[in-house]
A and B are shown apart, each in its own frame.
Chain A
Amino acid sequence: MSSVKIHIPVVRLAKLLRTPGGVPVADAVKRAGAGLESLRAECLDELRVTLDQAELCAGRANGEYDAAVADELYAIASAAIGVPTACGLAPIDTALVSLADLTDYLRTRKTWDANAVAVHLRAFRLLLHTEAGKDANGTKAILEGLRRVSQRYAKSEAPRAAAG
């Protein structure tokens, strides 16, 4: 049996956090939020580029499973997660997580579902165009729909992929 060493290292961060001065939690959160707000225009530009890249990438699949395309689309979607929330467009993050889930499931199963991918990308464009959340109920319905689509592939039995 291998040896296990258990000890308690000194955590300098704990001491630093307690040093006099600093900032109240409420002010820190507010300042961080204001800092994120200053990135809004950049974030929106980044999301437009991400969407264009994702559409171009998905278009290369020609309705069939292609490992390189699936990997690239997964990388594009997962890399952008976090950017929408920073610019106040949290629903787009939910859509991106759903797209990343979907492409991860498709990669694992080595299958492709062009309709499922397309509906995610159309939702992404719509949510970006309308700056998500102007119509809260509509946005919620879109996100629930996406979730249902991607989660179909999470189940042990794969649904029949539509090649459309």
Chain B
Amino acid sequence: MKDSMGLSPDSRARFNLERASVLILEESTMGMSILVQILTGFGAKVLHRAENVEEAQGLVAKVELDLVVADALGPTGEGYDFVRWLRRSRIEPNCYVPVLLTAGHTPGNAVQKARDCGAHFVMTKPLTPITVLERVLWIAREGRRFVECDNYMGPDRRFKNEGVPAGQVGRRRDDLVGDVGEANEPNMEQDSIDGMLKTRRVTL
């Protein structure tokens, strides 16, 4: 049975995490063991473990990272602060590294902090191998825009890009105006359209 939204646990598609340098920030021993088992199961061999923010910051300064899996670190949400620090650190290329943030529970007063810290994805526990893998593959996608401004630094949160909200003017340079207008000439030659719709023999 498929227990994730996009990736089948039976897929034979291959991926390679062997050479990826991964930082895990997790204060709980069991939480760390769970992540290590999941990531080594995926073939990751270069794991840097940090039990607190200071250790993680030290590793960010010292090691080139390809992926960060950081826990929110309990009710204080130090993990969110760590990701915010990472983005603002200007330690390249680590400040742009894909970050998967995990949280056991997000208290009501930390939701905004979680949203604004600059992580690529906030994943609530419990973690299962298929959901972690799905998120790792998703946050590794190329071409994601990175936003830097006074109060936010991190991946563009409008990843769905469903266009400018109705009735509003877009703030992006490449946002288009909503008024498309009437077509005044065909977009494609009729032959091209016919070619795309050509009947083909299929075996069912």
Contact = CB atoms under 8 A, between A and B. Distances in A.
B150 A23 contact: no
Interface residues of B, number: 64
B19 to A, nearest CB: 5
A9 B141 CA distance: 11
Contacts of B147: 4-6
A8 B34 contact: no
B140 A82 contact: no
Which DSSP category, helix, strand, loop or mixed, fits chain B's interface? loop
A14 B142 CA distance: 6
Contacts of A141: none
Contacts of B38: 32, 35-36
Interface residues of A, number: 59
Given A43-B30, A74-B107, A82-B125, A29 B150 contact: no
A38 interface: yes
B75 interface: yes
B85 interface: no
B105 A13 contact: no
B9 A78 contact: no
Interface string B148-173: 11110000100000000000000010
Contacts of B15: 17-18, 22-23, 25, 28
Interface stretch (B40-48, B55-63, B176-184, B192-200): B40-48
Contacts of B97: 13
Which DSSP category, helix, strand, loop or mixed, fits chain A's interface? helix
Given A36-B37, A43-B30, A11 B14 contact: no
A2 B98 CA distance: 25
B80 to A, nearest CB: 14
Given A11-B140, A25-B13, A35-B38, A81 B125 contact: yes
A12 to B, nearest CB: 5
B34 A79 contact: no
Interface string A9-47: 111111011111111111011111111101100110010
A23 B43 contact: yes
Nearest to A35: B37
Contacts of B189: none
Interface of A: 2-14, 16-26, 28-36, 38-39, 42-43, 46, 71, 74-75, 77-86, 90, 93, 97, 100-101, 104, 107-108
The 3 A-B pairs at the shortest CB distance, nearest first, are namely: A32-B41, A22-B16, A35-B37
9 contacts: A12-B93, A17-B15, A25-B15, A28-B129, A29-B129, A36-B38, A42-B33, A81-B105, A86-B127
